[in-house]
Structure 1
Amino acid sequence: MAASDTKSVLFVCLGNICRSPIAEAVFRKMASDAGVADKWVIDSGATSDWNTGSLPDARGLACLRKHGIETSHRARQVTREDFTSFDYILCMDESNLSDLKRKAKSVKNTKATVELLGKFDPQKQLIINDPYYGSDQDFEKVYEQCVRCCKAFLEVNS
């Protein structure tokens, strides 16, 4: 990490090709638009290793482009080091949360606060459902949830 005033956030979902790269791209744009991108380390990852190295789902990329957001993210799996280097690890559903908490127990000196991104949703939609087997409309819903949650998260951390 850079200077001590730098904050860091890792967005996590099952495969790191749908929800978490959308959240990462949305938050990166919000931080940039707010002029605070240099104060954040922003990334995303997966609880599984299924898609390591893959680009985000084409439907997610199309959704982001529709909203004027680009990303060059490549999927990666969450590492043990992530628990000691990130301030926040924000995930999408209860399964992600359970996997992350189990993994965190095996890491000494964990500093990351691990919680659901949906905790920040002003509309109180706690779970951000996986759109992988859904439609473009499902990706749009994920995008809208990520916008609400990331906006609230950034406000709390500004």
Structure 2
Amino acid sequence: MRKARVLFVCLGNICRSPMAEAVFRNQVEKRGLAEVVEIDSAGTGDWHIGKPPHEGTRKQLDLHGIAYAGMKARQFTSNDQSFDYIVCMDSKNEADVRRIIGEAAHSAKIFKFMDMLPAVPEDDVPDPYYTGNFDYVYELVTEGCEKLLDQIVSDIK
């Protein structure tokens, strides 16, 4: 089985993308795939570089027993095009990722997180930094990460 590298991207890398990183890492570990799936997250903005996940994200992760120790916000760079899957939490993040990477040749699959959940009416994962609705985002992230992991397992076999 070949390896896969997954990067979740949101605006500040303190709410949605670190939540997805932690949830996905937990799911990957439960399936015994930690040796073949590398996971990270980043933000398109630079406001929170070096900061831990938002209190609301930490509270949700704590509630569900999901580890996040040592996670710190970082900014997305053109070097991140080396990931196999770049999963953007909203349309603006996707546009920013494509702008930052530019026309460089890359093999990354770049897509919106909500593409994993076509039955859900949301186009973008709502930003709980503004809505305060961390529990709804956790529900979306959990379901979407399960579908993403199923897809990746299928891809790397």
- Same fold by TM-score greater than 0.5: yes
Indicate yes or no: 2:142 matched with 1:144. Answer: no
Query: For 1:126, what is the secondary structure of its paired residue?
Result: coil
Which residue identity lines up with residue 145 of structure 1 in the other structure? L
Q: Any gaps of 5 or more consecutive residues in structure 1? A: none
Moved more, 115-124 or 18-27: 115-124
Size of the aligned set, in residue pairs, is: 151
Write out per-residue CA displacement over residues 88-112 of structure 1, whole angstroms, 9 at most, x where no aligned residue.
1001111101111111215x33221
Moved more, 115-124 or 37-46: 115-124
RMSD: 1.3
Given that 1:61 and 1:70 are in contact with CA atoms closer than 8 Å, whether structure 2 keeps it comes out as no
CA distance in 2, matches of 1:123, 1:62: 27
Which residue of structure 2 aligns with residue 64 of structure 1?
Answer: 61
Q: Any gaps of 5 or more consecutive residues in structure 2? A: none
Which residue of structure 1 aligns with residue 16 of structure 2?
Answer: 19
TM-score w.r.t. length of structure 2: 0.91
CA offset at residue 59 of structure 1?
Answer: 1.1
Indicate yes or no: 2:117 matched with 1:121. Answer: yes
Query: For 2:129, what is the secondary structure of its paired residue?
Result: coil
CA distance in 2, matches of 1:123, 1:61: 27
CA offset at residue 122 of structure 1?
Answer: 5.1
Indicate yes or no: 2:128 matched with 1:131. Answer: yes
Which residue identity lines up with residue 79 of structure 2 in the other structure? E
1:6-155 superposed matches below 5 A: 6-72=3-69, 73-83=71-81, 85-106=82-103, 108-121=104-117, 123-124=119-120, 125-135=122-132, 138-155=133-150
Given that 1:131 and 1:139 are in contact with CA atoms closer than 8 Å, whether structure 2 keeps it comes out as yes
Write out per-residue CA displacement over residues 31-53 of structure 1, whole angstroms, 9 at most, x where no aligned residue.
00011111011000000111000
Which residue identity lines up with residue 151 of structure 2 in the other structure? V
TM-score w.r.t. length of structure 1: 0.91
CA distance in 2, matches of 1:94, 1:109: 21
